[in-house]
Amino acid sequence: MEIQRIHWIGIAVGLGVMLFSLIFMGQSIFFLILGVGIIIAAFPFVFSMIAEGRASAEKEDMFLEFSRNLVESVKAGLPISKSILNVKDKPYGSLTPHVQKLANQIQLGIPLNVALQTFSREVNTKTISRALTLIGQAERAGGDIGEILEAVAGAVSMSDKLKKERKAAISTLVVQGYIIFFVFLIIILVMQFKILPMVQGIANVGTIGSVGTTGAGAATDTGDISGAFFYLLLIQGFFSGLTIGKLAEGSVKAGIKHSFALMMAAFLVSSVAKIVVG
């Protein structure tokens, strides 16, 4: 991922909010404003990852259409290089500039195998890279390129179909993952703001008439436990998001957006609850 202008803007605004939070140092709202600044700084990067994922998915869908068009042209008797030139002006969404660049390279006399490698490197998806490798090897070996292209199109179509079926089958588990996390969040908040004060109250009653600083120690221990609960929520949100991404899309990287959403929800809910209840 290249750092673009929107990323620098997010970082600048986030740093501004974090510096502004120093005004409230020592107050309960300090951590809320500081966390909002961190979220603002991180959001452009997460958004870019989501956009890249969607663009990759669209490229794979359009590559299937591109492969089918090549099959039709090659089966009509045209060589694969001429077929690419014939289909370059058709709409392929986010894949269009890559197809046009491939055609331009072929027009300039660049060998097809080299042009396909450049195409594969710039598109940068596993499915398309494997398909282009097969096409390049078939063209170099001099086999029946039409049959091979048809087989590649069929393989890409099957891969796309399996991904969609998997996503549909896993969608229920994704929803369950979010529900389980928010149930866990509620349980932690109840323990932090209801059960811990009750335990502290019982401890304070037990120290009536005794000499020492047991009450202060209990208060300190309660604060430490509340902090531990907060970190536990963030860790749970991070790893739950990665797990959801791996189950839903087969990639841990795809889970970063879920981790960001869960950690942001945990932070905001916990911080607001601390201000309102605590």
Domain range annotation of the chain? 58-162, 164-205+214-278
For residue 219, the model assigns a pLDDT of 45
Asked if 38 contacts 270 with a C-beta cutoff of 8 angstroms, the reply is: no
Residues 64, 153 contacting (CB under 8 angstroms): yes
CA proximity to 101, closest of 80, 82, 83, 122: 122
Instruction: Mean pLDDT check: name the lowest of 67-81, 108-122, 170-184, 264-278.
Output: 67-81
pTM over 0.75: no
| Greatest mean pLDDT among 106-115, 155-164, 201-210 | 106-115
Among 46-60, 147-161, 196-210, the minimum mean pLDDT is found in 196-210
Whether the CB-CB separation of 81 and 109 falls below 8 Å is answered with no
Q: Kindly state the tokens that stand for 222.
A: 């309660």
43 token code pair: 């959001």
Q: Which pLDDT score is estimated for 278?
A: 61
Residue 183 has pLDDT above 90, yes or no: yes
Task: State how far the Cα of 247 lies from the Cα of 174, in Å rounded to an integer.
Answer: 8
Band (129; pLDDT cuts 50, 70, 90): confident
The CATH code that applies to domain 58-162 is 1.20.81
Average pLDDT over every residue of 251-260: 85
pLDDT at residue number 84: 83
Mention every residue, 6+ apart, whose C-beta is less than 8 A from residue 57.
none
Range with lowest mean pLDDT among 20-34, 94-108, 177-191, 255-269? 20-34
CA distances for 32 relative to 18, 73, 188, 266, angstroms? 10, 60, 18, 12
In the predicted model, what is the mean pLDDT of the chain? 80
Residue 114 in this model has a pLDDT that exceeds 90: no
Reading the block at residue 9, the tokens are 């803007």
* 106, two tokens: 């072929």
